[in-house]
């Protein structure tokens, strides 16, 4: 009997600067997935996430607006929400532009 292919779903993602403006806080909605099924691959310019739920699987990759230090990333999974915190590779404070 052939293995049934699961439907692929792109997870909803919310990215923001952390409170200290020193890194990113990334929230990935993986409702229905088990913690043991989650795979997170973090690079300096983006990340890929995969996870299994009963009748479908989450899978997608995302680009980041700022380079980060992937080796210092921390992830927590609670109530279907994967939360990743990762510091910026270098300061992102640039020149303030006045608005006319």
Domain spans of the chain, in order of start: 7-87
Indicate whether this model's pTM tops 0.85: yes
Please report the pLDDT score of residue 2 as a whole number.
54
Confidence tier at 10 by pLDDT (50, 70, 90):
very high
The pair phi, psi for residue 32, each rounded to 5°, is 90, -10
Q: Please tell me the CATH code under which domain 7-87 is placed.
A: 2.60.40.790
CA–CA distances in Å: residue 58 to residues 53, 66, 100: 8, 24, 44
Average pLDDT over residues 14-22: 92
Q: Does residue 1 surpass a pLDDT of 80? A: no
- Measured CA to CA in angstroms, residue 97 lies from 30, 37, 58 at distances of 38, 45, 40
Q: Give the pLDDT confidence of 34-82 residue by residue, as tens digits.
A: 999 999 999 999 999 999 999 999 999 999 999 999 999 999 999 999 9
DSSP assignments along 37-84, one per residue: G-EEEE-SSEEEEEEE-SSEEEEEEEE-SS-B-GGG-EEEEETTEEEE
Residue-averaged pLDDT of the chain: 93
């Amino acid at each position: 009997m052939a293995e049934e292919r699961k439907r692929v779903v792109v997870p909803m993602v919310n990215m923001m600067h952390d409170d200290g403006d020193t890194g990113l806080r990334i929230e990935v909605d993986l409702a229905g997935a088990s913690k043991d099924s989650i795979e997170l691959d973090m690079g300096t310019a983006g990340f890929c996430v995969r996870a299994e739920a009963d009748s479908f699987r989450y899978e997608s990759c995302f680009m980041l607006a700022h380079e980060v230090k992937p080796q210092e990333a921390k992830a927590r999974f609670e109530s279907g929400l994967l939360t990743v915190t990762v510091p910026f590779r270098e300061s992102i404070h640039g020149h303030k532009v006045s608005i006319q």
